[in-house]
């Protein structure tokens, strides 16, 4: 029942994820932050595979990624750029897939590359598939939101215009999805770093 969205705009990446933690048909918590800050200019929204029973694996994998990207920054005195971080995370998921205990985690990775001054957004699934995209969604909400994002996404949109498109997606999910999440956490990454936005 997890839902996450992301889109790029003019100099920023916008990520949104629901705040509910579910186990089968039971809502466990309603205040979970599913968007990890990996570095000063890198965000990751994570969720379990739709229909699967979500366990500690999603949180464990997110923390594993966060710690390793921070370790890289400590060792080399500079953070990983978004394309390099996406490749490393994809390789970690692919290696996990071939182990006895694979992670069932879907990811949206957004970052701002301070060396090229460009935003990057990557869509990744639990099989280790990686693609750079202008907008993305995971979860059951993606069935409704992807067509809206396809129609209304503008790569030159301001933050306010991007938030308006995101509100349109969230409204559609709340209207049409049988078990829709109640609250979402929204974060933006741009040249100034990461900040949370209220909808």
Number of separate helices (H) and strands (E) present in the chain: 4, 12
Q: How far apart are CA 96 and CA 110, in angstroms?
A: 22
Can you say whether the dihedral through the CA atoms of 74, 86, 106, 126 is positive or negative?
negative
Global pTM value = 0.92
User: Where do the domains of the chain lie, and which CATH numbers do they carry?
Assistant: 4-197 (3.60.20.10)
Instruction: Please report which residue ranges of 15-81 form alpha helices under DSSP H.
Output: 57-76
Give residue 145's pLDDT band: very low, low, confident or very high (50, 70, 90). Answer: very high
Q: Which of 96, 69, 97, 100 is nearest to 82 (CA)?
A: 69
Q: Which of 1, 2, 4 is nearest to 123 (CA)?
A: 4
153 is written with which tokens? 């996404």
Half-sphere CA count of 148, side-chain side, radius 13 A: 20
pLDDT, tens digit (0-9, with 9 covering 90-100), for 14-23: 999 999 887 7
pLDDT, tens digit (0-9, with 9 covering 90-100), for 4-50: 999 999 999 999 999 988 777 788 888 889 999 999 999 999 887 65
């Amino acid at each position: 029942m997890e839902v996450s969205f992301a889109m790029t705009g003019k100099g920023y990446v916008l990520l949104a994820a629901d705040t509910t933690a579910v186990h089968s048909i039971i809502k466990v918590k309603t205040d979970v932050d599913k968007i990890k800050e990996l570095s000063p200019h890198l965000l990751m929204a994570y969720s379990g595979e739709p229909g699967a029973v979500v366990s500690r694996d999603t949180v464990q994998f997110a923390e594993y990624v966060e710690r390793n990207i921070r370790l890289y920054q400590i060792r080399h005195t500079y953070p990983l750029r978004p394309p390099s971080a996406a490749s490393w995370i994809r390789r970690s998921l692919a290696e996990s897939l071939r182990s006895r205990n694979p992670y069932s985690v879907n990811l949206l990775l957004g970052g701002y590359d301070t060396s090229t001054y460009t935003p990057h957004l990557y869509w990744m699934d639990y099989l280790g598939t990686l693609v750079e995209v202008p907008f993305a969604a995971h979860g059951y909400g993606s069935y409704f939101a992807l067509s809206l994002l396809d129609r209304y996404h503008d790569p030159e949109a301001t933050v306010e215009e991007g938030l308006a498109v995101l509100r349109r997606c969230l409204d559609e999910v709340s209207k049409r999805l049988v078990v829709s999440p109640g609250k979402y956490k929204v974060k933006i990454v741009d040249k100034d770093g990461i900040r949370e936005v209220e909808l």
